[in-house]
Amino acid sequence: MPWSKEGSFMIDESSMSKRRKRRRDGVRRVISYAVLCLIALTMMGPFLWMISTSFKERDDVMTKETHVIPWRVFSYIKTADGRQRVRLLRDNGETARVREVLPDGTVGELRTVPSGDVVSRARYYLRGRNYPEAWKVGNLGRAYLNTVMIAFCITFGKVLTSSLAAFAFARLEFPGRDKLFLAYLGTMMIPETVTLIPLFILFRKIPEMLNTLLQTDYFTTSLYIGDWFVGTPMGVDSYFSLIVPGLFTAYGTFMLRQFFMSIPRDLEDAARIDGCSSLGIWWRIILPLSKPALVTLVIFTFMGSWRMFVWPLIIVDNPKMMPLSVALKLFQDQYSVDMTLLMAATVIALVPILLVYVAGQRYFTEGILLGAVKG
């Protein structure tokens, strides 16, 4: 029968193509993984290089024989009472010039021994001491403290003021609301450099102006808590000038407003009838319902203020008031020859960022997509 013949032929064909397809899928998967891994390696490479360098001995960095896993060649000579660590200086096949290495790491006597007596062995060698040294030399402890404090204050303040303003823009009605919102929006495309210059002038001049105005010299004095230098009240080298300009941005207000707009009004109306004030609605209804947007804003603000660079660079002169980014730049200027310390410092600076990233990972995607709405 022609019908069944054709039918069976078709089944045969499809099962064959299915098998072929499965095999092709398998090959494709292997290729996909290979490409994925290659790109992943490219992305990780610089970080691995950084970590590797940070654990090396200074001499092992400025060399062309680079090993990913830090390692050194250790040489020994046999002595009467066991073996003696040495540094191999020259070996011509018959005799070797060596210098003894004493247990405390300093070098000792210069000796010439038969080549056969020298045993060289390579093994991995991680030098952890770079980290505490970088921490101390780069004054990173204070910088860390400054950065953490600045980041926390900016994050808290910004989320608070932005969510209040966003609530007003999204839910309350008052004259001039839309024009004001447009003004907020408009400033979002103004480059940072435009406001940087007037802000710089403002914060340089505020203390002197206040001094003359109030007939005092308080605003330019250095403040101490105990003997702990905490900068000036406002102006250059003050926490005030590091934190306050970062507290108010159009972006946070805009993003939260977009999110608040998407929350249904029903709940809120019911609450109003029950006598709930606007503040209560903001606190009890809007904020709890906006958790994803708030967390996203918190993470982005935190990371943004953690890596803030140009503003602190121009408004801070005293190393004690520097945040991590500026301290690292200073460290680079002073220790550019010692890559091991510099890389240890960069690792130290990046660790918190990585922790925040791992902890709040899923919010990053959301944040980027929320921000993209502005297009």
Partner 1 sequence: MTEVDARRREHRRRGRLRQSLEGYAFLLPNFTGFAAFTFLPVVASFVLAFYSWDMMQEARFIGLRNFINLLTSSEFWYYFYNTVFLMAGIPVGMALSLGMAMLVNQKLKGIVVFRTVYFLPHICVGVALYVLWVWIYNPEFGLFNQLIQFFTGVKGPAWLSDRFWAKPALIIMGLWAGAGGKSMILYLAGLQGIDPSLYEVADIDGVGAWGKFRYITIPMLAPTSFFIFIMSVIEGFQGGFDQVIVMTGGGPPPGATTTISYYIFTEAFEEQRMGYAAAVSWFLFLLVFAVTLINWRFGGRRVHY
Residue list 140-169, contact with partner 1 (CB under 8 A):
160-162, 164-165, 167-169
Count CA within 13 A, CB hemisphere, residue 319.
Answer: 11
Contact flag: residue 189 with partner 1 (CB under 8 A): yes
**Quick check: 17 binds partner 1 (CB under 8 A)?**
no
Span from 116-124, 129-137, 226-234, 351-359 in contact with partner 1 (CB under 8 A) = 351-359
* Site for partner 1 contains 180 (CB under 8 A): yes
Q: Does 16 bind partner 1 (CB under 8 A)?
A: no
Contact yes or no for 197/311 (Cβ under 8 A): no
Q: How many angstroms from the chain centroid is the CA of residue 285? A: 33
368 contributes a contact to partner 1 by CB under 8 A = yes
- Residue 194 in the binding site for partner 1 (CB under 8 A): yes
Q: Where are the alpha helices (DSSP H) in the chain?
A: 2-54, 58-61, 130-137, 140-171, 177-187, 192-214, 239-243, 250-261, 266-273, 278-281, 287-289, 291-307, 310-315, 324-335, 339-359, 361-372
Segment contacting partner 1 by CB under 8 A, of 10-18, 147-155, 188-196, 220-228: 188-196
Contact pattern for partner 1 over residues 116 through 135, marking x by CB under 8 A: --------------------
Asked if residue 210 binds partner 1 (CB under 8 A), the reply is: no
CB atoms within 10 A of CB 45: 11
Closest CA to 262 of 372, 370, 159, 184: 370
Under rule CB under 8 A, how many of the chain's residues touch partner 1? 96
Of the residues 1, 2, 3, 46, which one makes contact with partner 1 according to CB under 8 A: 46
Say how far apart CA 254 and CA 250 lie, in whole Å. Answer: 6
The least distance separating partner 1 from the CB of residue 356, rounded to whole angstroms, comes to 8
> What are the Cα distances from residue 237, in Å, to 84, 209, 241, 306, 350?
54, 16, 8, 18, 24
Instruction: Pick one of 17, 32, 212, 221: the residue that binds partner 1 (CB under 8 A).
Output: 32
31 vs 18, 25, 27, 39, 200, CA distance in Å?
Answer: 20, 10, 6, 12, 54
Which residue lies nearer to partner 1 by CB, 62 or 69? 62
47 binds partner 1, rule: CB under 8 A: yes
Residues 304-343 that bind partner 1 (CB under 8 A): 306-307, 309-310, 313-314, 324-326, 328-329, 332, 336, 339, 342-343
CB of 292 to partner 1, least distance (A): 15
Is residue 365 at the binding interface for partner 1, with CB under 8 A as the rule? yes
**Footprint of partner 1 on 276-295 (CB under 8 A):** 278, 282
Work out the end-to-end distance of the chain between its first and last CA atoms, rounded to an integer number of angstroms. 64
Q: What is the C-alpha separation between 120 and 83, in angstroms, rounded? A: 12
Q: Which among 121-129, 135-143, 180-188, 231-239 is the span making contact with partner 1, rule CB under 8 A? A: 180-188
Of 58-66, 70-78, 90-98, 135-143, the window that binds partner 1 (rule: CB under 8 A) is: 58-66
Residues 6+ away with beta carbon under 8 Å from 149:
239
Contact 113, 96 (CB under 8 A): yes
Q: Residue 242: exposed, middle, or buried by beta-carbon count in 10 A (0-12, 13-18, 19+)?
A: buried
Which parts of 86-105 interact with partner 1 (CB under 8 A)?
none
Exactly one of 204, 258, 263, 271 binds partner 1 (CB under 8 A); which one? 204
